[in-house]
């Protein structure tokens, strides 16, 4: 696709009613992917939303065309939205209404089914039983019959089709027995009202319970969505004005009082306080904030009054992006689910064929009453094979797992990352801002030419626009000493190495000593040995003359040694990859317990190290937070960024940790492995269930053991299968990770 076409592409999310299984997902995807101009389709079964990326074609393809394609496939489109969160809100209302309707139909079915199940005890006449069975079949099972009618229109059977056909087969046969008994041999004059009522009651109850369980898996994201306040106190013309959060813009100054939540990402301009960030980071300890500190929307102000300059308004805040990212990750499919989808396309037709074959075999070789046994076994096969558990096995595990990850402060770009995390062999750590606090300070200076103040001024000219942690230290030192920077005529950044500015005809550089040497800066031989004794240094040069260097100190994160040890205990190899000097990198590695170090590495060389391990067949995770880490994060099998890092690092990463505690990474990997394991358990249960139950339903045990699986029991087993998958997925919501 051309760049122009890509630029004109649109993305719309449609809430869709009527999807219940992986067969439905495949049908909707197929209907949309056949349309010219559709670039990508993502169907989220648990939330029943469909995200479509497409290029509008006048007269051929627009949103209405997408809706028509879905509706032609037999499903109802309830609206449209630009984000999955909004679409899910629409879908949620529909699901709540559907859940209420299911309960109503279940209650009606139970009321009329009770006498049918006790027909012999109550001595009900045949016509009374038929009268009671009609509302059970027609009203109680109406949602299944609607599904059958849609399936006929779209020429593809699904779960509803199987249940509807099964109940109609049992109902019509029983009605025929009541109305025309003389046309049947005496042994075949047995009604199957228990099958009709049992199937509808059990399967409807299973679907209602599944819907309730699905709602529980979304609780974590729902909590996140409720974090942001609805209004904000904005300072305008010196006055405090309360406005809706949606009206707050970047650059506004908002006032947050003790006990209030912050509505947008920003920077403290006045005041000091402590914030509770646990809802975003999972870290229970309050965080102190002063002038210049970054704050996040959704966090709680526990101390003094803060005035905050908004950097990102509510709809662009970290909280909003987190919610949308979690929704998107829940809507994507791991590779194993795409395999299941391919199987499910052929599964239902294969089951229908098996049901017909079962009936033929019983009619041809079965004992009397062969017709009755053939009908019962054929119906049992149809019901037992309903692919509900198969369709829910992966989506519910992803939904529950990513929701739990969100509570831990871990956000996955998509569900495919779960596969890669489970296969990791190596974890590469950046140093500055990752293993260390990322808040270095200038602990001293080595001056070779001029004064320290002059060197600081030139360093400030280079670093005041940089995002590197060293830059913040230089800016803080200059502010403390009230040093002003000369005016810079031009600025050029070299990620991971340094910054070059021109000022009044002079070329000034601030950065690592190896880079300065590459740029032609002369470093006296007698000073090189002296510099090697120090850790991190920021050199400053004017022209080709080195003015000196600032000694930079950055405290190690308290959680770093424990995190490294835990990763090693999990069987992972851990290395340090840093652009910093050898002395600083090896010192940090020693404190963390990392044995292998790659120091004084350029950003592109970090990506090369990742590539080298990948060529050896290893799966690699890269953990970083800076602009210079972006190439390696993008190259790694799993890129892990810290939310406090640069935007480009976060955009390049597959996993973002909102908590500065590196043990969060350990918990994230453990949880990802658990999600992957639960998905496989769910799929194994779904497949084994069908493999074992289908032969029993077909009557394989009857000739030798006299065992038949009655249709109502097949319905109960099918419902139990779906519920088991849902409950197994809910184990991921436990807080023991």
Is a pLDDT exceeding 70 seen at residue 210?
A: no
Residue 1 pLDDT class (50, 70, 90 cuts)? very low
User: Same structural domain for residues 525 and 580?
Assistant: no
- Catalytic option among 44, 265, 276, 430: 430
Is a pLDDT exceeding 60 seen at residue 637?
A: yes
- Tens of pLDDT, residue by residue over 109-142, are 899 988 887 777 788 888 998 999 999 999 998 9
> In this structure, what token pair is assigned to residue 266?
């920003």
Tell whether 234 is covered by a domain: no
User: Same structural domain for residues 531 and 604?
Assistant: no
User: Same structural domain for residues 525 and 567?
Assistant: no
Is a pLDDT exceeding 90 seen at residue 688?
A: no
User: Same structural domain for residues 648 and 565?
Assistant: yes
Number of domains in the chain: 4
User: Same structural domain for residues 540 and 590?
Assistant: no
Q: How confident is the model at residue 586, as a pLDDT?
A: 86
Is a pLDDT exceeding 70 seen at residue 335?
A: no
The helix (run of H) or strand (run of E) holding residue 253 is strand 253-256
Using CB atoms within 10 Å of the CB of residue 466, give its burial: 0 to 12 exposed, 13 to 18 middle, 19+ buried.
Answer: buried
Task: Report how far residue 177's alpha carbon sits from residue 415's, in angstroms, rounded to the nearest whole number.
Answer: 53
CA 346 to chain centre: 28
Is a pLDDT exceeding 80 seen at residue 308?
A: yes
The helix (run of H) or strand (run of E) holding residue 105 is helix 84-117
Phi, psi torsion values for 254, nearest 5 degrees:
-115, 145
Tell whether 404 is covered by a domain: no
Domain boundary among 312, 329, 346: 312
Under 8 Å between Cβ of 636 and 618? no
Tell whether 731 is covered by a domain: no
User: Same structural domain for residues 36 and 55?
Assistant: yes
- Tens of pLDDT, residue by residue over 27-54, are 888 889 889 889 888 887 767 888 898 9
User: Which residues, listed in sequence order, are joined to residue 718 by a DSSP beta bridge?
Assistant: none
Q: Give whole-number Cα distances, 242 to 225, 245, 246, 250, 255, in Å.
A: 21, 9, 12, 16, 10
Tell whether 147 is covered by a domain: no
- Tens of pLDDT, residue by residue over 146-185, are 878 877 766 666 667 777 877 887 788 888 888 988 877 6
User: Same structural domain for residues 542 and 600?
Assistant: no
User: Same structural domain for residues 588 and 526?
Assistant: no
Tell whether 57 is covered by a domain: yes
Q: Give whole-number Cα distances, 338 to 168, 350, 479, in Å.
A: 33, 19, 56
User: Same structural domain for residues 521 and 567?
Assistant: no
Strands (E), 134-247: 231-236, 239-244
CATH at residue 481: 3.40.1110.10
User: Same structural domain for residues 531 and 575?
Assistant: no
Domain boundary among 495, 527, 553: 553
CATH at residue 303: 2.70.150.10
Is a pLDDT exceeding 50 seen at residue 269?
A: yes
- Tens of pLDDT, residue by residue over 89-108, are 777 777 778 778 888 888 98
User: Same structural domain for residues 514 and 499?
Assistant: yes
Q: How confident is the model at residue 605, as a pLDDT?
A: 84
Under 8 Å between Cβ of 295 and 308? yes
User: Same structural domain for residues 432 and 560?
Assistant: yes
Tell whether 610 is covered by a domain: yes
Q: In a 3-state reduction of DSSP, which class is residue 523?
A: coil
Tell whether 339 is covered by a domain: no
Q: Of residues 398 and 344, which shows the higher confidence score?
A: 398
Q: In a 3-state reduction of DSSP, which class is residue 295?
A: strand
User: Which residues, listed in sequence order, are joined to residue 639 by a DSSP beta bridge?
Assistant: 622
430 is catalytic: yes
Q: How confident is the model at residue 222, as a pLDDT?
A: 54
Domain boundary among 523, 553, 583: 553
Task: Report how far residue 625's alpha carbon sits from residue 414's, in angstroms, rounded to the nearest whole number.
Answer: 19
**Mean pLDDT, residues 239-264 taken together:** 84
CATH at residue 634: 3.40.50.1000
| Angle subtended at Cα 85 by Cα 9 and Cα 144, rounded to the nearest 5 degrees | 100
CATH at residue 77: 3.30.70.100
Phi, psi torsion values for 328, nearest 5 degrees:
-65, -40
- Tens of pLDDT, residue by residue over 561-571, are 999 999 999 99
**Domain span at residue 278?**
249-312
For tokens 């198969």, the residue is 390
Tell whether 377 is covered by a domain: no
């Amino acid at each position: 696709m051309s760049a122009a076409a890509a630029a004109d592409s649109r993305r719309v999310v449609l809430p869709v009613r009527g999807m219940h299984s992986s067969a439905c997902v495949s049908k909707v995807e197929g209907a949309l992917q056949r349309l010219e101009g559709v670039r990508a389709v993502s169907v989220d079964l648990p939330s029943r939303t469909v995200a479509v990326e497409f290029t509008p074609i006048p007269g051929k393809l627009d949103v209405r065309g997408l809706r028509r394609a879905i509706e032609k496939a037999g499903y109802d489109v309830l609206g449209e939205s630009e984000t999955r969160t909004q679409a899910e809100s629409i879908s949620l209302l529909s699901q709540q209404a559907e859940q209420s309707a299911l309960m109503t139909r279940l209650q009606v079915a139970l009321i009329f089914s009770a006498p049918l199940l006790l027909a012999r005890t109550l001595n009900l006449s045949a016509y009374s039983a038929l009268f009671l069975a009609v509302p059970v079949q027609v009203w109680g099972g109406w949602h299944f019959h609607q599904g059958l009618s849609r399936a006929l229109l779209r020429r593809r059977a699904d779960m509803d089709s199987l249940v509807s056909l099964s109940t109609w087969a049992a109902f019509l046969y029983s009605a025929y027995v009541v109305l025309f008994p003389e046309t049947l041999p005496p042994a075949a004059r047995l009604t199957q009202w228990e099958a009709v009522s049992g199937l509808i009651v059990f399967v409807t109850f299973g679907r209602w319970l599944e819907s309730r369980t699905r709602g529980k898996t979304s609780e974590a994201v729902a909590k996140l969505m409720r974090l942001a306040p609805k209004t904000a106190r904005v300072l305008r013309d010196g006055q405090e004005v309360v406005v809706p959060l949606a009206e707050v813009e970047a650059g506004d100054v908002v006032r947050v009082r003790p006990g209030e939540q912050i509505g947008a990402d920003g920077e403290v301009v006045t005041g000091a306080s402590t914030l509770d960030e646990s809802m975003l980071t999972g870290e229970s300890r309050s965080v102190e904030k002063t002038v210049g500190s970054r704050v996040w929307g959704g966090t709680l102000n526990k101390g003094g009054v803060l005035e905050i300059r908004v950097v990102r308004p509510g709809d662009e805040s970290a909280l909003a992006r987190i919610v949308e990212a979690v929704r998107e990750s829940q809507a994507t499919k791991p590779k194993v689910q795409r395999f299941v989808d391919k199987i499910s396309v052929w599964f239902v037709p294969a089951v229908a064929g098996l049901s017909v074959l079962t009936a033929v075999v019983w009619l041809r070789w079965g004992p009397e009453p062969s017709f009755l046994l053939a009908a019962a076994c054929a119906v049992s096969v149809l019901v037992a094979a309903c692919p509900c558990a198969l369709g829910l096995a992966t989506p519910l595990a992803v939904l529950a797992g990513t929701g739990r990850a969100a509570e831990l402060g871990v956000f996955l770009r998509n569900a495919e990352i779960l596969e890669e995390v489970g296969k990791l062999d190596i974890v590469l750590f950046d140093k500055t801002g990752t293993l260390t606090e990322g808040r270095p300070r200038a602990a001293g200076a080595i001056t070779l030419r001029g004064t320290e103040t002059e060197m600081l001024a030139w360093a400030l000219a280079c670093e005041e626009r940089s995002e590197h942690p060293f830059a913040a230290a230089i800016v803080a030192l200059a502010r403390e000493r009230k040093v002003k920077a000369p005016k810079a005529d031009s600025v050029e950044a070299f990620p991971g190495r340094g910054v070059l500015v021109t000022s009044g005809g002079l070329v000034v550089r601030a950065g690592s000593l190896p880079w300065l040497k590459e740029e032609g800066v002369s470093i006296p031989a007698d000073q090189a040995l002296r510099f090697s004794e120090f850790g991190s240094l920021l050199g400053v040069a004017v022209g080709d003359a080195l003015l000196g260097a600032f000694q930079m100190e950055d405290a190690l994160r308290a959680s770093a040694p424990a995190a490294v040890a835990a990763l090693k205990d999990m069987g992972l190899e851990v290395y340090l990859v840093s652009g910093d000097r050898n002395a600083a990198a090896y010192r940090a590695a020693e404190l963390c317990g990392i044995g292998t170090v790659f120091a004084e590495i350029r950003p592109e060389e970090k990506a090369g190290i990742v590539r080298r391990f990948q060529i050896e067949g290893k799966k690699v995770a890269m953990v970083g937070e800076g602009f210079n880490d972006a190439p390696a994060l993008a190259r790694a099998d799993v890129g892990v960024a810290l939310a406090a890092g640069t935007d480009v690092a976060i955009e390049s990463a597959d996993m973002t940790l909102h908590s500065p505690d590196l043990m969060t990474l350990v918990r994230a990997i453990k949880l990802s492995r658990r999600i992957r394991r639960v998905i496989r358990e769910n799929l194994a249960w779904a497949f084994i269930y069908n493999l074992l139950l289908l032969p029993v339903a077909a009557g394989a045990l009857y000739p030798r053991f006299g065992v038949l699986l009655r249709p109502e029991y097949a319905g109960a087993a099918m419902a139990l299968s779906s519920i088991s998958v849902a409950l197994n997925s809910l184990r991921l919501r436990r807080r023991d990770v």
